[in-house]
Structure 1
Amino acid sequence: VGVSVTFFSCVRISTDQSVDDLFCDNDDKPNLSYHVCSRHACPPRWVAGEWGSCSLTCGEGVQQRQVKCWQILAPGFDSSVHDFLCPNDTKPEQVRKCKAILPCGPVWEMSEWGKCSVDCGYGWQVRNVRCNSHNEADCTSPQPIEKQACIQKPCLNYWYTATWSECSGSCGVKHRKIFCRNKSGHVINEGLCDINNKPLSVNLCGMGRCKHVWIPQEWRRCPVECGDGNSTRKIICGSVTNGNFKEEPDTYCHHIPRPPDKTSCSANPCGPLWYTTEWGECSKPCGDNAKKMREVKCYHKNQISENCFTESQPEDTEICVLPPYNVCIDDRRAGCDFLIKPSICERLYYRQVCCKTCHRYGY
């Protein structure tokens, strides 16, 4: 059973061509007319509902949905009927396996990224990474990175070098102070100068010829805001010939042990920190409204805490940006152009067969 709808348009009499409705008197426009156009009963059909949530929060579980038999009994009257009226061999599945969007078992947890090690130019930032079982061997997935590059605003200040000290021997070293200054000449925090272009503060010196040796520079400031970290320093290889220093490739100094370029450092003790797991998989492979999740916990000294600032709590859910579904079209046999009531699209059957039309209604 269906409905035939008669439409009316404005026509120019002289040319018998359709024109805009503004050229006709709207008061004389006939109303749409509806007529039953078939007396054949519509066959019952299966209508499947949306899949429910996965039965488990991690690992593999099951999803369920309702599947009912529906039949159009009269124009605009679509009703559920007894299941035995629909063919059993075409009934959609009601239960399927699902993979939860959070992994099971021990997982890596990461704190938020710390402050960049510099206030201008290129630097590094670090974060804490821990296995939630307290044993790193239990976390079998690759460990997330603990250090990444960061970039700040361009450096507008400059390095100022003091005079070299006296040489410590015939083949010795000399030192000098390095300051960061602004355009006014005031000494400021060295983080406001380009740390990657900082001049040497220690150098090799001598009057004759001095062999190639390693020359360690000063330790850089501790890069962490709290807790334990690692401070680094620059190590160069150099020599002196006729009283002139020359920096050489590292291979020239491989005959002697290289001094360490990293050492432990500490800042003030850390308070409670937020930790997150890696993002789980998206809840579906394509289309809109897919989401992914992660666990968010507060720790203090490796113990669960409730004292983290809620204002800085990371999000535990994020919308996935995915490719769209396949091209959305209407089934011509369903008469989708005549869906007068958008609420009909609330039914999954119509959203499927009248995909394009229901999409215009916001479904």
Structure 2
Amino acid sequence: LYSWRFTSSGVCFLSAGTGVQTRAVQCLRPDGKPGLDCDASQRPAETRACGKPCPQWHVGAWSSCSRSCGKGFKRRALHCTHTELILQRDHCSGLRKPQELDFCNLREFLPLKHQMVYRFYFYFFLFNLHVEEDVSGVGCQVTSLLSLWGVCSLGRMGVSKRSARRRDKEDDDNDALKASYDKEDSSTPKWIFMNWDACSTSCGEGVQTRAVQCLRPDGKPGLDCDASQRPAETRACGKPCPQWHVGAWSSCSRSCGKGFKRRALHCTHTELILQRDHCSGLRKPQELDFCNLREC
């Protein structure tokens, strides 16, 4: 009888992503010579899709704005991942990098008279002058007032009127970002960076990342930052993991016959002795063994 014979599949055409894997398929007679009468409907496939997921950017949710008004910023976690593992960011260098830092609440500080209702009374001679202005709008919380008095004339009575500007409270979350608020030239971009994220591992060798982006002070992405001055986005991190610590073997309990020897065994971390379950994921060294296995 004729039958289909096939070889094992070759290597995948791509190391990552969607590739193609091929194999040789041939109709053979029992004597090994090529045949022509194999059932075409039963012919095994010669190609199949293959590959594994490529590294990709994984983004988290945007944080809330760092400020309730004025120029603040928001950020989101950004990692280069592969099958749930966090990699160095250069593994995703060929991919379009999502934005991880952005400005928010980008509105100019309004004069106080456009943010709140204020009144003032001025008494001069026997007259009671009441001046009131009602205006609306959403503004920042007032922390201090800078007032300038002006003088005008109203008949026999001098009336003073004042206006005020708001000075917002200091935002100490990021010195580099705060300094960029005061730049007058909104076309000059600069590198803005955030604090380091938590280490990717609780112990051992991990990776720590932070958001770094070229931004103009008006909040729009910039393209002309000096690449040689770009702050690092990743750095190695971690601390020693718990590990087994063994002492020296004791002498054999017997000089002949079946005896035993032992050694101290502790789970330690930075010279501290821990409960043994902290080392449960590690191969446990032998702490008891037989010795002098000979007849007396």
Superposed pair shares fold, TM > 0.5: no
Return the TM-score normalized by structure 1: 0.25
Say which structure is richer in helix: 1
Q: What's the TM-score once normalised by structure 2's chain length?
A: 0.29
